[in-house]
Chains A and B, each alone.
Chain A
C-alpha cells in the first residue's frame, strides 16, 4: 500500500480553510513532487455556514480523493468539533483553536494540540484572517509531511500581492506555536 496521509480542516466559511488546503496540497504536489488532492464541502451561503477542506497526500496517485480516516484534523469552530471529533481516530493529531473551541476534548484522544491560532494571528500579525496560515505552519511543523521551503513557495503563489511578509510571518508563528503548544507531539 502507498503511504497515504490525510488532513481535514473544518470550520466555517470565511476562515480560509479551502485556501489553506489548496496551499498545503499544492506544496506537496507541485513543489515536493508527490501526489495530492484537495477537496472541499461547503453550503450554499457565500460566507458563514460549515466549511470543510480536505487534503490527501501520497507517494503514488491518489485514488479516492476525500479523507476517510484523517491523520490530522483541524477544528476551527465548536460546531466543527461537535461534528468531526467523534469521527476521529483516537491517535489522530487533533488541533483546536483554543479560543473558538471552548468545550473539552476527551482525554481518550492522545494527540491533542490546543492553540489560540486566531488570537496569535490577530495579536502578532495584526490580521485575524491569517489564522489559516498560522495553522498551516503548525501542521507542517508537527507532521513534516511537506517541506518548509515548498510550503512557503506554494503560499507565496496563492496570496494577494503586498501580503507576502504578513503571510510569511504567519507561517513562522505557526512553526513557533508547534514548539510551544505541541511540544509533546514533537518529542514523539
Chain B
C-alpha cells in the first residue's frame, strides 16, 4: 500500500500550494513577502498549468481586492502574506466578511510590529487575525503544526470558506512554512471538497437565506445579477438604513458561523486523559510542547497538551472540560501573551494560567516548556 502513496518531502509553503490546487483554487493574487513568498512562487508556476490565473499585484490592498473579485466571479481564490501585508488587507477582509465572499488568506506570521523580523518565527498575529478588521465579524483561522497538516488544512480552509461564504485565514509560523518534512499529497478524489451553494431559480434575492443562515452565491456572469456592497444591506444586496435589517444582517454573519460551528471546529488532545498540568499550544510551539509533555510523562508528571487546529472558532467545550481536571494551565506562544487571553476567557478563574512568551526570533524550546511544567 505504501508504494501507492504520493509521499513527498516539501516545505510547508509548498504543501500549502499543493493543497490549494487540490482544493480547486484557480486564482491567486498576491504580493510576495517573507516568510510567505514561496507560496506565491509555487502558485505562479503551478496555477497556469492547472488552468488558473496568477497575478502579482502592486500591493496587499489590491491583492485581497483581486481575490475577492475573482471569488465573486465564481473562482476559488487565495492570497498569501505576512504581518505587514496582513495589516494592509484588514479593511478588505472586513469587506469579504460583510459581503460574504469566500476567500482564503494565508498569513505566515513573522515578528512584528511593523516590518519586524522577516525571517524569524512568530505567532504574534493571532489577535490581529481575530480583531484586525473593524466591526463585528466572524474570524475563522486554522493553524497547522506540520507540513502534512498544512496540506490538509489548506484544503479545509477552502472548504470552510466555501461552506460559510466568508474569508478564512490559514495561520502559519515561519517554522511550519519553511520546514521540510514528509507530506502525503492526496488527489482530489481522496479528499472532501466543498463547493459554494449556488441559487437555482429566479426570482433571485442575493442575500436570502434558509435555516443554515448562508445565502447561496452565484458566480458573476452565470445569469444571476447582484449588487455587492460593504454597507449594511438587505436581501436585495442594496444598502439599507432600516435598523431591524441592519441588526439582522450584522447578527446573521456572526450567527451563521456559530450555528455551524460544530462542523468546522477541530482540536487535538495529547495525553489529556488524566492530565494535571495542561499545555495549550498551537503551530510549531505545539511541537515543542509535545516533546516537553513526553519528557514530563517519562518523569512521572501528568502533563498533557490541548492543541486547537481552529484557533477561531475554538473548541471551547472540549478545552473547558479538560481544564476542569487540571491544576495549572501553560500557554506557550511566540508573542507577548495574545492567545492566553482567549484561554483565560474560556477556562475562567480558579486555576493558574501562565504564559511562556518569546519574541526574540527563536522558537520556544521544549526545555523551556518543561521547566514551566516542573515549576
Residues of A that sit less than 8 Å from B by CB: 1, 22, 25-26, 29-30, 35-44, 62-66, 68
**How far is A66 from B287 in the complex, measured between Cα atoms in Å?**
10
- B357 at the A interface (CB under 8 A): no
Most A CB within 10 A of own CB, among B118, B119, B120: B119
Mask of B53-92 contacts with A, CB within 8 angstroms, 1/0: 0000000000000000000000000000000000000000
Given A39-B175, A65-B284, A68-B366, is A44 in contact with B119 using a C-beta cutoff of 8 Å? Answer: yes
Contact B365 A22 (CB under 8 A): no
Contact A65 B181 (CB under 8 A): yes
**How far is A68 from B287 in the complex, measured between Cα atoms in Å?**
13
Q: Can you add 4 more A-B contacts, CB < 8 Å, to A25-B180, A36-B182, A41-B119?
A: A38-B180, A39-B179, A43-B119, A66-B175
Contact A40 B290 (CB under 8 A): no
Chain B residues near A65: list those with CB within 8 A. Answer: 175, 179, 181, 284, 287
Given A30-B7, A68-B366, is A63 in contact with B178 using a C-beta cutoff of 8 Å? Answer: no
Given A44-B119, A68-B365, A68-B366, is A36 in contact with B181 using a C-beta cutoff of 8 Å? Answer: yes
**How far is A64 from B289 in the complex, measured between Cα atoms in Å?**
8
Given A44-B119, A64-B290, A65-B284, is A29 in contact with B365 using a C-beta cutoff of 8 Å? Answer: no
Prevailing SS type, chain A contact patch: mixed
Chain A residues near B367: list those with CB within 8 A. Answer: 68
Measured CB to CB, the closest approach of chain B to A33, in angstroms, equals: 8
Q: Jot down 16 A-B pairs with beta carbons below 8 A, ordered by A.
A: A25-B181, A29-B9, A29-B181, A30-B9, A30-B182, A35-B181, A36-B182, A37-B180, A39-B175, A41-B119, A42-B119, A43-B119, A63-B290, A64-B287, A65-B287, A66-B365
- B126 at the A interface (CB under 8 A): no
Prevailing SS type, chain B contact patch: mixed
- B256 at the A interface (CB under 8 A): no
**How far is A159 from B180 in the complex, measured between Cα atoms in Å?**
17
Contact B366 A64 (CB under 8 A): yes
Contact A38 B179 (CB under 8 A): yes
**How far is A68 from B9 in the complex, measured between Cα atoms in Å?**
22
Chain B residues near A62: list those with CB within 8 A. Answer: 181
**How far is A161 from B294 in the complex, measured between Cα atoms in Å?**
44
Query: Which residues of B from 104 to 124 have beta carbons under 8 Å from A?
Result: 118-120
Most B CB within 10 A of own CB, among A22, A42, A44: A44
- B288 at the A interface (CB under 8 A): yes
Contact A38 B181 (CB under 8 A): yes
**How far is A135 from B284 in the complex, measured between Cα atoms in Å?**
29
Chain A residues near B284: list those with CB within 8 A. Answer: 65
Mask of B284-300 contacts with A, CB within 8 angstroms, 1/0: 10011011001000100
Chain A residues near B298: list those with CB within 8 A. Answer: 1
Pick the residue among A40, A44, A64 that contacts B291 (CB under 8 A): A64
**How far is A37 from B9 in the complex, measured between Cα atoms in Å?**
9
Chain A residues near B290: list those with CB within 8 A. Answer: 63-64
**How far is A1 from B365 in the complex, measured between Cα atoms in Å?**
18
Most A CB within 10 A of own CB, among B179, B288, B362, B365: B179
Chain B residues near A40: list those with CB within 8 A. Answer: 178
- B34 at the A interface (CB under 8 A): yes
Pick the residue among B7, B34, B175, B180 that contacts A22 (CB under 8 A): B180
Chain B residues near A63: list those with CB within 8 A. Answer: 287-288, 290-291, 294, 366
User: Who on chain B is nearest to A31 by CB?
Assistant: B9
Contact A25 B9 (CB under 8 A): yes
- B363 at the A interface (CB under 8 A): yes
Chain A residues near B120: list those with CB within 8 A. Answer: 41
Chain B residues near A1: list those with CB within 8 A. Answer: 298
